[in-house]
Chains A and B, each alone.
Chain A
């Protein structure tokens, strides 16, 4: 038997030992976190760099993954931490042998284009589909938007060419941010790329006046920033893509309460987004690009603090200028009580760039002004196309048509099916309509 003293002593030692050991383990975990991250990224880079070039990869944790025959999904991020695409690992059945075929499919975040298609390193090589077959399909789909269909010709090519775009847009990257923070301390911003007079990329996010708080997109993915319905990051993504589809913020059909009914999955107030998009479009027309915007904002703040911008410490790690003009209401005020924006304040150019008439992409006839601001929806919903489907995807959604592997319909079908499985997953995951 143990003496009472020993019982007490051993008990105290056990408790102390547990606490110290747990602290030591947590310590070594923290000390080796960087190593682990570096090792994991090196492994992912080796596997995925050819499929989707990215600076880093992060695993998508979603219950949806299991429902599609998908083994893993990774999101590729650029050097600034912004998403640039997805790598989806899909397992399909090779119908010639009945064996599984594991493929890695890379998809660009902004354009939904196929960036890579390869056999997964985990594939056991039981399928009759060769690397040459996969390569043939990839050569036909490289840089093309998914989903994909084969052996049929697209009938609405001519219609697609008549996508409506805004007139007078100059190519470049344009930017606008709100001049005051919202109730949660977030300053919204929109960044817009314009190529060949068309909006090709839109990003809506917000950084916080408290620089220790992550941006709104990350916070929503972490579950810290919550909104009704889908998480905010997904809603932002859907909204940005909807704008890329319609090319005109007026066609997002914002209602008087700031919401819209015509974009599935978007329930947040989009007023700030629309206003910032309008500002970006006006900046594009005035050839006032992102660099000029930042320089202008800096100059305005510099003027407020008599050339003391550097000492304010208002530039965050992502190089955004974290400054709210809430305490300086007169800075952007016009004599008539209306407000200027950053471009107008710095250039003094009060010209009206807000004509939102649309023209066809080929410079043809103007879009009817009757549709501006209406709530009649984005999609036309041609029932002739909606009736047929491939891999469960309506033909109306198919973006790319290929010839496939000559004389091998089954292999073509299996590989295309894998690509379309990735599409269906991403569509559900992001409530995505490419």
Chain B
């Protein structure tokens, strides 16, 4: 039967705008967690970053006289940056990260899809380097939900908490000081399942990443006689990486063997980073390195394939 909406030759609706919309909707649970845990300031930060990224993208595209594309992708990237921020981040710091991601990373490297780095990760890392904040002492979830002064003045330096004192159920529920949207495992899994159901994320990719990382952590636990794997999986925010950072348009150029290698590679890098890094470094640096290495891998793959085709042509 012929589809009345789509042209008969279009067999899938999984186009760029559809993918961006699905990604954006998949962030909704993380946004809900941020708003319920941290209140109005989290909502304002998320909305501000999303709109600023979209406006910046639009202005840059007009200046460069390039196709502006869907507004949904920049909205998504802005929201991701906000969800990776501490709840008490001042708005000017958030703005600097968004503008760095949008103008420097995305536009100077050729626009969306051409970028060699995950723009949101790069923007967040920029904030980490230029405006170092005490990420060991984040606001407690469920505090003052209508407090807005932190949007101007920043954090009031809450005391660091010892996560090892938390019950496992609290860690799974995300009720510990964290970035705005990276703590609640149940909700992050819901977002991941949504992306898979919309066919914009292949299930084997997060499975490869999380499976490999879990395996490495278990080996480490056995070797050292510790029991940190579950604690690490639920407190480090790597479920956010698996759902929203690692498999975006900029990092994954195509699904297939290269993306699987990429998942394993990022898992290995995250594992190695866990010895020296914590907080946001652990979430974004492995993803950024993976993105760069994936470009190299992708390029090598294409060169090899082209060479093989040349040889085949020459033989024929």
Contact = CB atoms under 8 A, between A and B. Distances in A.
Contact of A24 (B37, B167, B187): B187
B35 A22 contact: yes
A25 B167 contact: no
Interface in B72-120: none
Interface stretch (A12-20, A91-99, A164-172, A365-373): A12-20
A29 B33 CA distance: 11
B272 interface: no
A427 interface: no
A14 B191 CA distance: 11
B36 A26 contact: yes
Contacts of B17: 1-2
Contacts of B169: 31-32, 35
Contact of B36 (A1, A25, A32): A25
B49 to A, nearest CB: 17
Given A1-B17, A6-B18, A35-B167, A25 B25 contact: no
A428 interface: no
A21 B165 contact: no
Contacts of A29: 36, 142, 173, 175
Contact of A18 (B18, B28, B173): B28
A21 B28 contact: yes
B122 interface: no
A60 to B, nearest CB: 16
B32 A25 contact: yes
A196 interface: no
A5 B166 CA distance: 45
> What bracket does the count of chain A residues touching chain B fall in?
20 to 34
B21 A2 contact: yes
Interface residues of B, number: 34
A39 interface: yes
A36 B175 contact: yes
Given A35-B167, A39-B167, A21 B32 contact: yes
Interface in B169-204: 169-170, 172-175, 184, 186-187, 190, 194
B21 A18 contact: no
Contacts of B187: 21, 24-25
Nearest to A30: B173
A39 B169 CA distance: 12
A35 to B, nearest CB: 4
Interface string A335-362: 0000000000000000000000000000
Contacts of A122: 159
B32 A31 contact: no
A205 B288 CA distance: 62
A6 B86 CA distance: 33
Interface of B: 5-6, 13, 17-18, 21-22, 24-25, 28-29, 31-33, 35-37, 70, 142, 159, 165-167, 169-170, 172-175, 184, 186-187, 190, 194
10 contacts: A2-B70, A18-B28, A25-B187, A28-B172, A31-B173, A32-B167, A32-B169, A35-B170, A39-B165, A39-B166
The 10 closest A-B pairs by CB, nearest first: A21-B32, A21-B29, A28-B173, A17-B28, A35-B167, A25-B36, A22-B32, A14-B25, A10-B21, A2-B17
